[in-house]
Amino acid sequence: MLGAIEAGGTKFVCAVADEDFNIIDRVSFPTTIPSETCSNVFQFFDQYELKSMGIGSFGPIEVDINSSKYGFVTDTPKKYWSNFDFLGTMKKRYNIPIFWTTDVNAAAYGEKIRGAAINSKSCLYLTVGTGIGGGMIINDQILEGFSHPEMGHILVRKHESDLFVGACPFHKDCLEGMASGKAIEERFNKKGNELSESDSFWEIEANYMAQALMSYTLTLRPEIIILGGGVMAQDHLLHSIRSQFEKLLNRYVYTPQLTSYIVSPGLKGDAGIVGALLLAEKVKQGK
């Protein structure tokens, strides 16, 4: 059996699959304090004989294998989880190979191997939910340097009609601070799906996202950009982002046709858990 954890700041999803990646069982539960959350993880996986596991975790996390903090959730705004040895806790319970990465990297990998980017050599996956994060895959490898990317915290130019100061506790008006689900809730005291499709805010949201995608396009040059997460569940938003992206880029560099360049996830809400299962197989093979 292959095991997978998609560890989000709001909820955990755990799954087991056979060697053909058919999901045999899965469960989800709220992300509370580490001890309680891990107890739920153990209760689920203890039922199965696991060969390997893939973990995609909210972050920031330590991915440098030479660091004494490798496998830790580091300075996260998620209460009680800062400096928690997530990987070490799993390894003490399960003596198996475990692939450790971010939740968005896992989702990007799932989309590259089984989803919207299956016919591409590179892809960028961006989740726009409570927070904003991104992962990049090039030739089936996760892009990491000194650490993993933190794409949600790039700076964006403030929209002229936007009076909101920003929701990011570190940077106030970075991309996450202006365009995340948390930012929407702090603006309106309601979730994005409670706003009317005709609300003028959506043009502001699309502008921030288009600015970010322009930056990623110019610096990373992915073959395809995949936008997931709860905020992107607004069907009208994708069209508006494409339109504003086209205006901002102003034909400076070539991109594929925008309807095939900026797209929704092929795996829908399962990108993260499928990616974690694929990474479980990868680490089992020693890759």
Written as one string, the DSSP assignment of 60-112 is SB---TTSTTTTEE-S-SSTT-TTEEHHHHHHHH--S-EEEEEHHHHHHHHHH
Q: Is residue 116 within 8 Å of residue 263, measured between CB atoms?
A: yes
Asked if 144 and 276 sit in the same domain, the reply is no
Q: Is residue 109 part of a domain?
A: no
pLDDT of residue 76: 83
What local confidence, expressed as pLDDT, does residue 230 receive?
92
70 in a domain, yes or no?
yes
142 and 276 together in one domain: no
Domain around 37: 2-104+269-284
**Residue 200, domain CATH:** 3.30.420.40
pLDDT digit string (tens) for 167-186?
Answer: 998 899 999 999 999 999 99
Distance CA 76, CA 201 (A): 28
Q: How far, in Å, CA of 195 to CA of 177, rounded?
A: 19
On whether both 164 and 182 belong to a single domain, the answer is yes
Q: Is the pLDDT of residue 287 over 80?
A: no
In-domain check, residue 225: yes
In the chain, the number of structural domains is 2
Does the global pTM surpass 0.75?
yes
Inside any domain, residue 216 = yes
Average pLDDT estimate for 253-259:
96
What strands lie across the sheet with 225-228, from one edge to the other?
A: 141-142, 132-138, 122-128, 225-228, 262-263
pLDDT class for 219, splitting at 50, 70, 90? very high
Indicate whether 248 and 142 sit together in one domain. yes
What pLDDT, in 10s, does the model give residues 57-87?
998 999 999 999 999 999 887 889 999 999 9
242, 125: one domain: yes
**Whether residues 87 and 185 fall in one domain:** no
Could you tell me if 161 and 137 lie in one domain?
A: yes
Residue 80 phi/psi, 5° resolution?
80, -10
Residue 27, Ramachandran bin (φ over 0: left; ψ between -120 and 50: alpha; else beta): beta
In single-letter form, the type of residue at position 272 comes to G
179 part of a folded domain: yes
Does residue 76 share a domain with residue 25? yes
Q: Tell whether 110 is covered by a domain.
A: no
